[in-house]
Amino acid sequence: MKTKALVCESLTEDLSGVSVKELELPEILPQQMLIKVKAASVNFPDLLMTKGKYQHKPDLPFVLGMEGAGIVQEIGSEVSKFKVGDEITFGSWGNGAFSDYVIVPENGPQLKSKTLDFKEAASFQTAYMTAYVSLVRRGELQSGENLLVHGATGGVGMAAVQLGQKMGAKVIATGTSENKLKETLNWGASHYVLTHKEGEVSFRQEVKELTGGKGADVIYDPVGGDYTEQAYRSIAWCGRYLVVGFAAGQIPKIPLNLPLLKAGDIMGVFWGGWAGREPQESLKNFTELLAMVENGTLTPITTEVYNFENYAEAFRCLTERRARGKVILTF
């Protein structure tokens, strides 16, 4: 069986090594399933992988796409959890979702919630599980604390804004576009702060003022880049700085005297790695999040949707910082 897929054949800075190819799919193994992909989420790690700058570095050539949603077309002889026709979400293994059809193992995918369409379901797993592991397991965010979310208008940032507010935190969203940041007030943010601003009041000063001089108890950073040190200088006593990713493309350096002076923590968050080491806990957390979606507590936001053939425009939406919420490819 053949499928069209988005294949990275060489690592480049401009996507010139990426194109749509027709591939031959192998026969499914006894514990595998064939999925007709309906929607897939475009994440910053997808872009970084095309440049060889992500921690997961698949061998060339590889099919892009970390997560998606679709319909089970065929099951292996030993598959018992799913049947043909089931609507599922899948992902977290690293790559492969940007294809008309994919072969996935039985262990990993989940039934799609009936409250979500395929686009919403495809956008859910990576963003919300990253936010959950960050804020609940690593940051131990408490009700009444101040949460500063960098890159708040992107998919992973949006999930943290929503989840933080539901956990009872005062959420301060940050970003570079005031028009986009205004939308975070509808997602649960109490305030927003421009990271690249002009005037007498600095980013650090504004965060201090919004927190009554205390600073942010938890800082959630999927961006990295130039403002990391300034953000850490606005952290509260015994605050927790969550290193989630480097969407800015630059891995920052923080002077180690700063965590000493603030008695602060710097915590790494690698949800994919954690899920691989703690699969049962990961499934438990996913179930908890899904319950929040089904009862209306959380609502995935997919504002940028592109047909598969327009993948280049979807990637430009990320690189040009135009996204408000998740970017989705449909098939």
pLDDT value of residue 230: 87
E strands, the chain, where? 2-8, 18-24, 32-42, 62-63, 67-75, 87-91, 101-105, 110-111, 146-149, 170-175, 191-194, 216-221, 235-243, 265-268, 302-307, 326-330
Spatial separation of the C-alpha atoms in residues 151 and 43, rounded to whole Å: 13
Q: How does pLDDT run across 12-43, given as a tens digit for each residue?
A: 999 999 999 999 999 999 999 999 999 999 98
| Percent of the chain predicted with pLDDT > 90 | 68
- The CATH architecture of the domain made up of 127-272 is 3-Layer(aba) Sandwich (3.40)
pLDDT tens per residue across span 247-274: 777 788 899 999 999 999 999 998 878 8
Residue 15: predicted pLDDT: 93
pTM of the model: 0.88
Q: How many residues are there in the chain?
A: 331
CATH 3.40.50.720 domain range(s) in the chain: 127-272
Beta-strand pair 216-221/146-149: parallel
Residues 6+ apart with CB under 8 A from 185: 173, 192
Say how far apart CA 212 and CA 51 lie, in whole Å. 42
199: how many CB neighbours lie within 10 A of its CB?
Answer: 7
What local confidence, expressed as pLDDT, does residue 89 receive? 94
As assigned by CATH, the class of the 2-112+301-330 domain is: alpha beta
Report phi then psi at 46, rounded to 5: -60, -45
Nearest to 270 by CA among 231, 226, 321, 222: 222
For residue 185, pLDDT over 80 is answered with yes
Cα–Cα dist 90/125, whole Å: 8
pLDDT in tens, 62-81: 999 999 999 999 999 999 99
The CATH 3.90.180.10 portion of the chain extends over 2-112+301-330
Structure tokens at 210: 């919004």
Nearest to 225 by CA among 186, 179, 176: 176
* pLDDT score of 33: 97
Separation CA 238–CA 236 (nearest Å): 6
DSSP per residue, 294-327: HTTS----EEEEEEGGGHHHHHHHHHTT--SBEE
- pLDDT of 199 reads 60
